[in-house]
Amino acid sequence: MFTLQHLSWIAAGRRLIAGTTLGLAITGSAFGAGYGPSQNSLHQPPVKNYRQLFESNETGYGSAAPTRGMNEFGPDPTGYGAGGRSYETRKPVFDGDDLWRTPADFDHGRQPERAYEPETPAEPTESEKIDMRLSSRYGNPVVERFVKGTSANRFAELYLETSRLIDGRHIEPTTYQVRVNQAAENLRHAIGNEQFRRVFALNASSAQQQAFLRELNAYVSGQQVRTANDALRVMSGVASMASRTLGLSASAVAAEFVYGATESLDKYSAFNPEAPAARPSAATGLEDSVVGIGVEIKPHDQGVVVLKALRGGPAERGGVQRGDIVTGVNGQNISGRTMDFAVDQIAGPQGSPVLLSILRDGRPMRLSMRRETVRVYSVSDVQMIDPSGKIGYIKLDKFAESSNQEMDEALWSLYRQGMQSLVLDLRGNPGGLLTTAIQLSDKFLPSGTIVSTRGRTSEDNTQEAARREKTWKTPLVVIVDENSASASEIFAAAIQENGRGLIVGRKSYGKGTVQTHFPLRAVGGNLKITTARFYSPTGRVMAEAGVKPDIAVPKRADDQTVVPLAADIDVREALRAAGSQRVRELAAAAERGNLLSRR
């Protein structure tokens, strides 16, 4: 029996200004004051029975009760950084999983090396994108377990719940006809997709597949879909024909209706199922600590290759080195499998053992360790890079919850060493928490707008301004590149357009939109949808445009090779700028409240 219960929600939303995560989180209001019926909204009683979907015109479900949270950021104990200021909770800003197509970190999803690709691949066709999404989706053991373990009845609840959120909060919701068409297109590709066929043991012949496609095309093209209830009736019909012609489960079909709805919106919106609590998956990327072995990885033909072992973690202590190729985990071969599969094999409860099969310089070896809590740092490098010029250097990998404190510690460390100018490296930084972007901007800006957002509800329409409270006066140069996104772009634009410092490098990613994560009641997981756009201090649209550097630096021809900072052309240009009279004039003018031309 496919029955739906009347749903009522009290939930907290998570806001991201994005691009893999990887997802994030400060508690905030899930439903703004304007949340409610829109042109696609549902406001009739719920469907009672799956089979009644074809006959019933009922639609809708329970009301949403808003809640609001608050994060307090107390006075800066140093007396020199941003002063005592409380920030109302903001939903996070993060670009990891969208900027990079696959997770690349066993523990926090970072893939920093993607900043150094020598060639930009051709944009895939829409058909190729669908196949890529399907392969990624069903190559992920978390998704496989979720779909197989969720009933068609529960998927119907999920569809209604996500429909209401899309209708009420997405900045430009698609019609239900468009959402259903996307689901049908997903299924057309899915029956020929290797990962999908493996997960659902689909062995239908070519003749059976063609029969299903003919029936699917005729059925969907003849349907008028105006409401969520109409969409559920189409879901039921497609599930029936898929079962009859292909032997495919109703859950497999229903899953693609849920995924199709979010994929019809924009490239950043997504449904993210949650891994069971008993089996942790890769962390989201902004935690202060994670349970795992503590490595950063990226894909490799023979498995995954290690970029770095996090300091103090089991991998570092167990002898894992940069460049090691992990080919197996606990006896399971991961060669030729997806990154998600490798992540899933590595993940596990604290204290549980891990045996890695590794190739090091062509020599096979095995390393054993146990999973444990590993500290994750967002500031990865702090040094007085030019002692004679008294120029400090900080590398910030992400805007995490701990970044504010880490930056204070880094700044004071450099200050005590005599720092007179600062280079802040945001290359490859995919973003992070909006609150953190505001906090760090406020450390350097004595006044001026930091960022504004505009969406469909009052909650999504915000403007953040700096306050003249104990800001750092140090001349500032910020390095960005094509993979600096989201919160990185907010910070860089705030510095640039308020005349506080110079930007060096290459045009940033150009994300420009805000994603909100809504926890779900029907299933474990969350719905990430685009709820607003963000704008620079001067009101400039950030989407696609990004931040253009004041001093442009071309990419190296051999930029897959990691070079020392002293040989890094971006850093060399930043050091030249940091020692210039111009950057000192900008800092002094900003302190006086004047905006100088950067040219």
Asked whether the predicted pLDDT for residue 79 surpasses 50, the reply is: no
Is the separation of the CB atoms in 300 and 339 below 8 Å?
no
Asked whether the predicted pLDDT for residue 561 surpasses 60, the reply is: no
Query: In what helix (H) or strand (E) does residue 530 lie, and over which residues does it extend?
Result: strand 525-535
The CATH number covering residue 320 comes to 2.30.42.10
**Judgement on whether residues 167 and 315 belong to the same structural domain of the protein:** no
323 domain residue, yes or no: yes
Taking only the tens place, the pLDDT of each residue in 569-599 is 999 999 999 999 999 999 999 888 776 555 4
What pLDDT is attached to residue 310?
86
Asked whether the predicted pLDDT for residue 515 surpasses 90, the reply is: no
Asked whether the predicted pLDDT for residue 33 surpasses 80, the reply is: no
The CATH number covering residue 543 comes to 3.90.226.10
The predicted model gives 115-129 an average pLDDT of 69
The predicted model gives 230-244 an average pLDDT of 97
Q: Tell me the average pLDDT of the chain.
A: 79
Confidence of residue 308 (pLDDT cuts 50, 70, 90): confident
Q: Give the position of tokens 């005599």.
A: 418
The predicted model gives 44-49 an average pLDDT of 30
203 domain residue, yes or no: yes
**In terms of pLDDT, which residue wins out, 391 or 33?**
391
566 domain residue, yes or no: yes
- Residue 73, burial from CB neighbour count under 10 angstroms (0-12, 13-18, 19+): middle
Number of domains, the chain: 3
Confidence of residue 289 (pLDDT cuts 50, 70, 90): confident
**Judgement on whether residues 146 and 261 belong to the same structural domain of the protein:** yes
What pLDDT is attached to residue 176?
98
Asked whether the predicted pLDDT for residue 198 surpasses 70, the reply is: yes
**Judgement on whether residues 364 and 417 belong to the same structural domain of the protein:** no
Last residue of a domain, one of 328, 350, 375: 375
**Judgement on whether residues 220 and 266 belong to the same structural domain of the protein:** yes
What is the separation, in whole angstroms, between the first and last Cα of the chain?
Answer: 69
Asked whether the predicted pLDDT for residue 139 surpasses 70, the reply is: yes
Residue-range definition of the domain harbouring residue 388: 379-592
367 domain residue, yes or no: yes
The predicted model gives 210-239 an average pLDDT of 97
Is the separation of the CB atoms in 379 and 398 below 8 Å?
no
Taking only the tens place, the pLDDT of each residue in 337-388 is 888 888 889 888 999 999 999 999 999 999 999 999 998 889 989 999 999 9
Is the separation of the CB atoms in 590 and 499 below 8 Å?
yes
Contacts of 552 (CB under 8 A, 6+ apart): 505, 506
Find the range with the poorest average confidence among 58-72, 272-286, 315-329, 424-438. Answer: 58-72
What pLDDT is attached to residue 22?
24
DSSP string, 385-409: EETTTTEEEEEE--B-TTHHHHHHH
Asked whether the predicted pLDDT for residue 172 surpasses 50, the reply is: yes
CA-to-CA distance for 332 and 221, rounded, in angstroms?
45
**Judgement on whether residues 584 and 496 belong to the same structural domain of the protein:** yes
227 domain residue, yes or no: yes
Query: In what helix (H) or strand (E) does residue 177 lie, and over which residues does it extend?
Result: helix 176-190
Asked whether the predicted pLDDT for residue 181 surpasses 50, the reply is: yes
Confidence of residue 73 (pLDDT cuts 50, 70, 90): very low
Rounded to the nearest 10 degrees, the angle between the axes of helix 403-416 and helix 434-444 is 20
Last residue of a domain, one of 375, 409, 439: 375
**In terms of pLDDT, which residue wins out, 509 or 278?**
509
Is the separation of the CB atoms in 93 and 4 below 8 Å?
no
**Judgement on whether residues 452 and 476 belong to the same structural domain of the protein:** yes
**Judgement on whether residues 216 and 315 belong to the same structural domain of the protein:** no
**Judgement on whether residues 371 and 384 belong to the same structural domain of the protein:** no
- 3-state secondary structure string across 214-276: HHHHHHHHCCCCCCHHHHHHHHHHHHHHHHHHHCCCHHHHHHHHHHHHHHCCCCCCEEEECCC
**Judgement on whether residues 260 and 394 belong to the same structural domain of the protein:** no
Asked whether the predicted pLDDT for residue 5 surpasses 60, the reply is: no
Find the range with the poorest average confidence among 253-257, 263-267, 291-295. Answer: 291-295
What pLDDT is attached to residue 497?
96
**b/e burial code for range 27-63 (CB count within 10 A of at least 16 → b):** bbbbbbeebeebebbbeeebbeebebbeebebbbbbe
What pLDDT is attached to residue 28?
25
**Judgement on whether residues 302 and 450 belong to the same structural domain of the protein:** no
**Judgement on whether residues 195 and 340 belong to the same structural domain of the protein:** no
Last residue of a domain, one of 375, 402, 432: 375
What pLDDT is attached to residue 96?
39
- Residue 278, burial from CB neighbour count under 10 angstroms (0-12, 13-18, 19+): exposed
226 domain residue, yes or no: yes
Is the separation of the CB atoms in 485 and 511 below 8 Å?
yes
What pLDDT is attached to residue 298?
84
**Judgement on whether residues 204 and 293 belong to the same structural domain of the protein:** no
What pLDDT is attached to residue 596?
57
356 domain residue, yes or no: yes
What pLDDT is attached to residue 10?
22
Taking only the tens place, the pLDDT of each residue in 87-112 is 222 343 444 343 332 222 333 333 33
The predicted model gives 411-439 an average pLDDT of 94
The predicted model gives 494-508 an average pLDDT of 97
464 domain residue, yes or no: yes
